[in-house]
Structure 1
């Protein structure tokens, strides 16, 4: 719920990253809301151990009473990434939704922890210009409409990193951040995003220092490498013959694909709040998974089923980008995709080479592809003469329209 005349809270649960913004938010909350207790919450969604080392000590040094770190890696991949994969959702034709798909699992865990610790408000460090403020608060509204939501960037008068550093320095709160930060990054098991620096001018190409997860395609190995993926009813079961957990499978694919420069994109996207932004994204394992899944779909789904799945994917890309995971619409679209995935059993081999992941081999017991039907040689399953009647019926509306046009023209000429 939005803040009203209430100006104090007993306990606030803060989405905490350990960075400059959230380090400043802790003392700001205590000063602004009558010395309320602040509990920091950190979600481990596969962003890397280096971001989690010492995070509890940082939070407490900033004034938090506690810091709860929740391991959400397996849940994130199994219950969010893999169901989204079945929809084929790709935002604006390129973006594999790495940041937006992590927000629901984090928001859900925050609400659960808030109830456990007795918090009466939730807080996030998202800016007032970005998408994440909407994503988090849409999830909060669906799961805990009774809890107040505090968004400091929409309330305080600090506007720069220098302001935040001065704020912490005045209060003798330690922080390892500096004024020299160039890029804003967001990482999880699926991807890492990069914004800021030279990327703010879309005419500037990204320098190599932007990329942190993948090697440059130009520097990738000269020999291709293949990866085999096995699916059962749309669920990934084996990678290169290994039965891995969802998270471990993604880690394996990330390592393999990143070494070949797979998964880099540089895009200008439409933010939900109305402005455009330029960002670079690295999604190596996700790029492989999407290529494999769509390769299996092409083998199994008929024309109309695939057309419907593509429609679901297009619509769901906006649903997840806009933070509407916990809605009836999202549930319906996920159910539709899961229904189509019931037939998606088979094996796909992906070739990795110089930044590209391509389907090299595919097979399925449910394949609709038949050599007997597709052959150019003689066969007993298709009489080519039958095509004439099909084409005549298929083009009937065009034929009628042309006849009417000709008749109209003749009448005009006669008059």
Structure 2
């Protein structure tokens, strides 16, 4: 690959991406622009600016942006309209953040005249795929540099030695083996590696950072109401809130009641299985609420079709195909289904669980007159069921007659 002249680096300010920053400068002799996204990871981002400046980055080439509202409104909410869950359990918290980071990497590269972007994902994980597929979809002329696949810094010892040689500050706890790695944003926290690598061993409780242990949650349940408009949450307990604020508040309810913990062995796109500990407190509540309002507002045919497509949609996000035409096609179908998904859901939160206990909407398809066990005043003629059953049974009768004749 021809050496790049200017690279936009997805930069966290941590040790690994600081080493990558210096490695790009020394390996390629190129100008580096840093981009740090605030996706609600809960960390102070100003130290990332100071560290980038200390490593020689021009202040005009340091981009630190609060993307929380865009993250929730344009990525998390569209995904939750689909009720997307990967392999039956995972709410895709890491997966859905990568297309937004990639989008801004490309935009900043175009704004600054950079000819390459770089990320800190390893060669064993899914994130390298997600970043690079997104960049390819948005601007295929940009080079992508993945240092973990290129350099010879193959151990923690060699990384620390490189850092010391280049005067990169090393936190004291980074001098030993980290117990596990963490990725966080407003939707979730993901922990992997080290003490979590044996799936037969229960994860230590200290791994969980966003939720109290369900056994330590309040002994009294809490009731909340979430209001939706066209499939998106717009209010909690009758108070209108922005998308990011809604997710932030739901996270607090989930934290308090120990909701959203997941110990999961998943199939990575690159072929291996990995064990992760996920915490998605607000997202778990949001999923239950969204399914609750769909129960009364979504037609059965539309709902069943949507559910049948959901695993494919979730897999596309997990595998990094957010910007693919097939994901956009599915999104159009999903969004069409949400035109009448408007109303309010009442939820009970208690010791790690969230349950829908009530739902109502002006767009409801639920007809008490049709389902009542009392007099339905002619709303439904039960005699009609006989012809319905007879026609649906016809092919079964023909099959049975054939099988008896032959055998």
**Cα distance in structure 1, aligned partners of 2:182 and 2:263:** 14
In structure 2, the residue matched to 1:134 is 129
- The count of corresponding residues between Structure 1 and Structure 2 is 402
In structure 2, the residue matched to 1:46 is 40
**Cα distance in structure 1, aligned partners of 2:54 and 2:177:** 23
Q: Does 1:64 align with 2:61?
A: no
Equivalence map 1:2-401=2 (5 Å): 4=1, 6=2, 8-33=3-28, 35-50=29-44, 52-65=45-58, 66-176=61-171, 177-379=174-376, 380-401=378-399
**Cα distance in structure 2, aligned partners of 1:140 and 1:253:** 32
State the shift of 1:366 in Å: 1.7
Over residues 60-109 of structure 1, what are the superposed CA-to-partner deviations in whole Å (9 max), with x where a residue is unaligned? 22343342101111100011111111111110011000001011111111
State the shift of 1:159 in Å: 1.7
State the shift of 1:185 in Å: 0.6
CA contact (8 A) 1:27 1:63 kept: no
State the shift of 1:32 in Å: 1.1
State the shift of 1:390 in Å: 1.3
**Cα distance in structure 1, aligned partners of 2:297 and 2:63:** 45
Alpha-carbon distance change, 148 to 291 in structure 1, aligned in 2, over 3 angstroms: same
Over residues 114-137 of structure 1, what are the superposed CA-to-partner deviations in whole Å (9 max), with x where a residue is unaligned? 111111111001000100000000
CA contact (8 A) 1:312 1:337 kept: no
**Cα distance in structure 1, aligned partners of 2:20 and 2:401:** 72
**Cα distance in structure 2, aligned partners of 1:178 and 1:376:** 69
3-state DSSP class of the match of 1:25? Answer: helix
**Cα distance in structure 2, aligned partners of 1:241 and 1:378:** 36
In structure 2, the residue matched to 1:413 is none
3-state DSSP class of the match of 2:207? Answer: coil
CA contact (8 A) 1:26 1:63 kept: no
TM-score by length of 1: 0.94
**Cα distance in structure 1, aligned partners of 2:360 and 2:335:** 20
Over residues 26-54 of structure 1, what are the superposed CA-to-partner deviations in whole Å (9 max), with x where a residue is unaligned? 11111111x2111111111111133x131
State the shift of 1:365 in Å: 1.3
State the shift of 1:111 in Å: 0.8
CA contact (8 A) 1:265 1:280 kept: yes
Over residues 155-204 of structure 1, what are the superposed CA-to-partner deviations in whole Å (9 max), with x where a residue is unaligned? 01112222211111122222223324111111001011011132100000
Unaligned runs of 5+ in 2: none
State the shift of 1:214 in Å: 0.4
**Cα distance in structure 2, aligned partners of 1:123 and 1:228:** 43
TM-score by length of 2: 0.96
CA contact (8 A) 1:26 1:64 kept: no
Unaligned runs of 5+ in 1: 410-415
**Cα distance in structure 2, aligned partners of 1:254 and 1:162:** 37
CA contact (8 A) 1:24 1:62 kept: no
Q: Does 1:406 align with 2:400?
A: no
State the shift of 1:383 in Å: 2.3
